[in-house]
Structure 1
Amino acid sequence: MKTIDFAIIGGSYAGMAAALQLARARRRVLVVDAGRRRNRFVDAAGGASHGFLTQDGRAPAEIAADAREQLMNYPNVEWLHGVADDARLDTDGALSFKVGMERVRARRLIIATGVQDELPAVPGLADRWGRTVFHCPYCHGYEADAGPIGIIAASALALHQGLMLPDWGPTTLFLNDSYTPSDQDMAAMIRRGTRIEPVPIARIAGEADVVLKDGRTVSMNTLFTQPRVSLTSPIAEQLGCRIEAGPMGPFIHVDESKATSIPHVFACGDAARAAGNVTLAVADGAMAAFAAHRQSMV
C-alpha cells in the first residue's frame, strides 16, 4: 500500500500543470499516467499544436516531453505509468485506487484523465484525424491558409462551426444526413457565407477531398467535424462524482476551484469541461492544485 499527500490521475497537460504547482509547494506528489494524450493523433500525423503561448507550432509530444522533464526535476514527484482503477472512499475518509496490483491511498486526489473522441463513421475520416481533419477552429483553423474549409456534420453542433469557420476561409457544410438546419439556422449560415451541401458523403480521399454519393468530389484544404466525447477513465464515476451531460458528451462537474461533488477530489482539463484545449487544460490544472493545496491546510 502506497500512501501519498496528493495523487494526480492523468499525466497530460492538465495533470502535469497541477503536479508542478504542488511540487513547488514542497508536497509529495504522485502522477499516474496511462500515456493516452487526446492529441497524440496530431503527433502521429506529423502535425503541430497551435495557440498555446510560447509553444505555437510545436509537436504536442515535444511540449509534453519538456513539461515532464521539468516536472521530474523535483525530487518530491513520482511518476507511475499505468491505468488507475477501482477507486473508492476508505472508511477513514482517505481515497484509494489501484494501479496494476498496487493500491494507492491519497489524502487529496486530482482527476485529469481527459476524454476520448468518437468520430463520425465516414470512410477515410479517422485516417486523417489530426492531420487534415480536426474539431477546434482556434487550434487548427489558421492552417487552412484561408482556403476552402469543409464541415462534416455529425450533430447539431455543426451549426456552431458553420457560423465560426468562415473567418478562417470559404466554408462548406456537408449535412451528411446528420443535421437538418432550421430555417433560422440556414439563414444565419447564409449570412455568414457558409455553403450548404445536402448530398451525403461516400468517403474522404486524398488530403481532404470529400467524395459525395452522387459522384462529385469537393476538394478542401481542411475538414472539421464534431466528435462525441466520453470520459477515458471510470475513476470519477467510481467515486460518485457528479457527471454533467454536455453538448459533446459527459464531463465531471466542478466548481470554480475545480472541486468535484466529492470531498477532497478535484478534476481539471478536458474531463472537467464541456470543451477545452491545451491552454485551458494547463490553467485548470494549476487552479485545481492551488485549491487542493489550500484545502489541505485546514
Structure 2
Amino acid sequence: MNDVIIIGGSFAGLAAALQLGRARRQVTVLDTGLPRNRFAGHSHGLLGHDHKPPLEILAEARRQLARYPTVRLVTARAESISGAIDDFCVLTGDGESLRARRLILSYGVVDQMPDVPGYAENWGTSIVPCPYCDGFEVAGQHWGLVWSGPQSMNQVRLFHDWTDTLTVFANGHDLPPDIQADLARRGISVVNGRITEIDHDENHNANVRLNAGPPVAVDILFAHPRNKPSARLHESLGLATVDTPQGVALKVDERRETSVPGIYAAGDLANPLMASVTLAISHGATAGISAQQSMLV
C-alpha cells in the first residue's frame, strides 16, 4: 500500500511528492501531462527559475525526483476514488487499482475559452491572466482588460503599478455609473460592444475586433475566463467547495486538508485567491508535509 497517492503531477503535486519522498514515504503520482500553464512560453516570478519555460521546470523537477526510490511517477488518469482514511482506493484509466492511506488532489483547473476566434489560439501569449506572471515584460505599454465583473475593478487598480495606459473592453457588460466615473477619473478609456475576434499584426500583439465600431489594438490583453476543475473526483467524494469569480475551488484548512479526513488539496484546484506557480509549490509542500505528519504514530 502507498502512504500517499497524489493525483496531478504539476507544480503542486511534484512539490508534495518531494517532501514525502524525502521523508521516505511511499508515494505514487498520477499525471496526464497537461499542466494549465503549458501554453505559456515562460514562467515568471519563481525564485531560481525566473523566465524559464514551465515545461522545462517540470521536466527538471521530475528528473530530481528520480533520486528518491519511494516516489513513483505514473502517466495515467485517476478515474475513480473509493474508501476512507487509511484505506483509499484509486482506479486508473489503465485499469490499475492503487491503495493509499492518504490522498493529495492537485489535478488543477482548465480555463474555459469563450467561443471567440483567436482567443484560444492567443491564450498564454498575447492574452494572459496575471500581471505578476507577465506584467514586467510589457510594463509601460498599452494594456487591455476584458471586463468580467465587479472583480475587474481590482485589476484596474492593480495594473497601475505596471502601466498608465489601459483600455477596458466592456464586452457586453453594463458597467455601473460609479464604476464608469471611477474609470474616467483614472483616465481609462472604455470600449463598448462585444468582442468578436482577436488577432495580431506586426505592430500589436492583440487586435480586438468588436461587433460595433473599429478594432482596437493593444500590446497585451488581460482576461479572466471562467475555469473548472480538470476532473470531477472531488464531486464524487463530496468535498466542500468555495465559489470564486472564475469558478469553484476546493475548501481546505491551513494544513491543506479538505472536508474529508485524509484527503488534502493543493494548487489552482484549492486556491480561490490567485493562480501562481510559487503559491502552488508552497501549498503542495504544505499538503505533503501535513499528510506525512498525519500518519505519525
SS at match of 2:160: helix
For residue 215 of structure 1, report the CA deviation from its aligned partner: 4.5
2:112 to 101, 115, 118: 118
Mark the CA change 1:31 to 1:96 in structure 2 (over 3 Å): closer, same or farther. Answer: same
Residues paired across the two proteins, number: 290
Give, as a single letter, the amino acid of the residue that structure 2 aligns with 1:104.
L
Q: Give the Cα separation in 1 of the matches to 2:256 and 2:106.
A: 11
**1:114 Cα offset (Å):** 0.4
* Structure 2 counterparts to residues 276-291 of structure 1, below 5 A: 276-291=275-290
Q: Distance in 2 between matches of 1:77 and 1:175?
A: 48
- 2:192 equivalent in structure 1: 198
Answer yes or no: is 1:250 the counterpart of 2:245. no
* CA–CA separation in structure 1 for the residues paired with 2:275 and 2:70: 29
2:111 & 2:5 partners in 1: Cα distance? Answer: 25
Give ranges in structure 2 of 5+ residues lacking alignment. none
Q: Using structure 1 for the length normalisation, give the TM-score.
A: 0.93
What pairs up with 1:52-201 in 2 under 5 angstroms? 52-89=46-83, 94-99=87-92, 100-169=94-163, 170-177=165-172, 179-201=173-195
Query: Are positions 1:238 and 2:224 aligned together?
Result: no
What is the TM-score with the length of structure 2 in the denominator?
A: 0.93
1:267 corresponds to which of 249, 265, 268: 265
Name the structure 1 match of 2:225. Answer: 227
Supply the AA of the counterpart residue of 2:122: R
Q: What residue is the counterpart of 2:35 in the other structure?
A: 37
Q: Secondary structure at the match of 1:167?
A: coil
**Does the 8 Å CA contact 2:38/2:55 hold for their aligned counterparts?**
yes
Secondary structure of the 1:276 match is: coil
- With 123-132 and 235-244 compared, the bigger mean Cα shift is at 235-244
Cα deviations by residue, 1:17-45 (Å, 9 ceiling, x for unpaired): 00000000011111110111000111xxx
Does structure 2 conserve the Cα–Cα contact (< 8 Å) formed by 1:89 and 1:239? no
Question: Quick one: structure 1 residues 189 and 72, their matched pair in 2 at CA, closer, same or farther if it must change by over 3 Å?
Answer: farther
Segments of 5+ residues of structure 1 without an aligned counterpart are none
Measured after TM superposition, the shift of residue 93 of structure 1 is: 5.0
Read off the aligned partner of 2:2 and give its amino acid letter: I
- The answer to which of 138-147 and 92-101 deviates more is 92-101
Q: Structure 1 residues 50-59 or 118-127, which shifts more?
A: 118-127
Corresponding letter in the other structure for 2:278 = T
In structure 1, distance between residues paired with 2:134 and 2:186: 20
Q: Percent identity among equivalent residues?
A: 39
Is the contact made by 2:86 and 2:100 (CA closer than 8 Å) also made in structure 1?
Answer: no
Runs of 4+ displaced beyond 4 Å: none
**Which residue identity lines up with residue 39 of structure 1 in the other structure?**
N
Question: For the residues of structure 1 that align with 2:251 and 2:108, how far apart are their CA atoms?
Answer: 13
